[in-house]
Amino acid sequence: MDEQEKLRIKNQKARIRRARTAQRKLKKARAELEALGEITDWEDEFIASVDERLEKFDSAFADPSLGGFGEALSNKQKQVLAQMRRKIKDKSKQAPQDDPAKPQWRSSFKNKSNFKPRVRNIEDDMFEDEPEPEPVAKIQPPKHKPFLKIIDGGKK
């Protein structure tokens, strides 16, 4: 097998893998929309037609100017899928309010409890009732000039 044949096989496997990934995303979107009861006829037809083309051709579009080389979905198809995902996200955010037993996802940056940081207030440390400590007697510096004294020792 020469280099071109290996590259062709590698590209074919990658194309099939991208097509399966796109099919999984489409099927998941359909299942979630059906579970929410929010799927429209147009969305159902769109998912069915794109899924059929992915199954048959490993790509849902033929014109290379519509999307990237080797991609399974065109740019417009990706936008439609993203809109479906946003719709699912918006509708599922409303669902937990109806069902209080269902746990809600929470950002790790938000306050999870009524935690209040320990902050020191400097005025709390000031006591008005206690007398101030008596000043310590100051040590008087020597009255003579400093001098340098040389001590014999060290290396000889």
Q: Using CB atoms within 10 Å of the CB of residue 38, give its burial: 0 to 12 exposed, 13 to 18 middle, 19+ buried.
A: middle
Range scoring the smallest mean pLDDT among 10-19, 68-77, 133-142? 133-142
Spatial separation of the C-alpha atoms in residues 59 and 74, rounded to whole Å: 9
Please tell me the predicted confidence (pLDDT) of residue 15.
Answer: 87
Please tell me the predicted confidence (pLDDT) of residue 101.
Answer: 61
Give pLDDT tens digits for 40-81: 999 999 999 999 988 888 887 777 777 777 788 888 889 999
Spatial separation of the C-alpha atoms in residues 18 and 24, rounded to whole Å: 10
pLDDT greater than 60 at residue 96: no
Spatial separation of the C-alpha atoms in residues 83 and 76, rounded to whole Å: 11
**For the chain, what are the domain ranges?**
3-98
pTM score, whole prediction: 0.55
